[in-house]
Amino acid sequence: MTKIFKHIQTSVVPLPIENIDTDQIIPARFLKATTREGFGNNLFRDWRFDENDQPKEDFVLNHPTYSGKVLVAGKNFGCGSSREHAAWAISDYGFDAVVSSFFADIFKGNALNNGLLPVQVSDDFLKKIFDAVFADHTTVVDIDLENQVIKISSTGEQESFEINPYKKACLMNGYDDIDYILSNRAAVEEFEKAPNP
């Protein structure tokens, strides 16, 4: 069981950088852990903290002005290595969705598997969000998964987004792949009983 995701309204954290790769999201040296928790502490580690582990004030996550459950980032988010830890780190930090104008394929799959919604918008709409947030940091974004629409509350501008029907069902019901298969347990056991071909 993961979080149920239907509809959120939240202020956002803007990160207008393109090609943010998974090494920036979670550097390789933090991958040795044998559990999934705690990766949020090292999210964007080298952008967030200096060599002495002191927060860098100019980085947006350390900025008191910006907060929210949605990360808005530049084009081609999550490129680089396939590490699933990138999605764990973002989700563990407390984000429910990432908005960008393009996501690397593997990252997108990993995010969806871990209850993190990737919302892919047009370059144009992405710019509108950044403009709105930089004009007013309290700007609220409204993501309606059921209708697959993202809206900037203050301006009323909106755009629809795509999502695989299966992944949508998972997020809306708060189940992940394992819950889904287990909900088909009877079919699995039936299959096992059938004579081998």
Partner 1 sequence: MAKTLFDKIWDAHVVSSKEGFPDILYIDTHFIHEVTSPQAFDGLRKRGLPVFRPKQTVATADHNVPTWDQHLPIKEELSRYQVDMLTKNCAEFGVELYGLGHPYQGIVHVIGPELGITRPGSTYVCGDSHTSTHGAFGSIAFGIGTSQVEQVLATQCLLQSRPKRMKIEVNGTLQKGVGAKDIILYIISKISAAGGTGYFVEYAGDTIRSLSMEGRMTICNMSIEMGARGGLIAPDQTTIDYVKGREFAPKGEEWDKAVAYWQTLYSDEDAKFDSVLTFKAEDIEPMITYGTNPGMGIGVTQHVPATEDFEPKEQGSYKKALDYMGLHDDEQLLGKPIDYVFIGSCTNSRIEDLRQVAAFVKGKHKADNVVVWVVPGSKQVEQQAIAEGLDKIFESAGFPLREPGCSACLGMNEDKIPSGKYCVSTSNRNFEGRQGPNSRTFLASPLTAAAAAITGRVTDIREMLSASEFAELVD
> Closest approach of Cβ 46 to partner 1, in Å?
20
> Closest approach of Cβ 166 to partner 1, in Å?
4
Amino acid letter for position 142: D
Segment 60 to 99, residues that bind partner 1, using CB under 8 A: 82, 84
Q: Which stretch binds partner 1 (CB under 8 A): 64-72, 116-124, 148-156, 162-170?
A: 162-170
Is residue 147 a contact point for partner 1 (CB under 8 A)? no
Residue 40 tokens read as 């949020």
Q: Which stretch binds partner 1 (CB under 8 A): 16-24, 57-65, 68-76, 182-190?
A: 182-190
User: Which position among 10, 62, 67, 113 is part of the footprint of partner 1 (CB under 8 A)?
Assistant: 113
| Separation CA 139–CA 10 (nearest Å) | 8
Considering the complex, state which of residue 41 and residue 155 has its C-beta at the smaller distance from partner 1: 41
Considering the complex, state which of residue 113 and residue 148 has its C-beta at the smaller distance from partner 1: 113
> Closest approach of Cβ 113 to partner 1, in Å?
6
Q: By CB neighbour count within 10 A (0-12 exposed, 13-18 middle, 19+ buried), where does 98 fall?
A: buried
Backbone angles phi, psi at 77, to 5 degrees: -75, 140
Instruction: Residue 154: count other Cβ atoms within 10 Å of its Cβ.
Output: 14
| Separation CA 114–CA 175 (nearest Å) | 10
What is the C-alpha radius of gyration for the chain, rounded to an integer number of angstroms?
18
Is residue 105 a contact point for partner 1 (CB under 8 A)? no
Is residue 187 a contact point for partner 1 (CB under 8 A)? yes
Helix (H, G, I), strand (E, B) or coil at 151: strand
Helix (H, G, I), strand (E, B) or coil at 111: helix
Q: Which stretch binds partner 1 (CB under 8 A): 64-72, 90-98, 145-153, 172-180?
A: 172-180
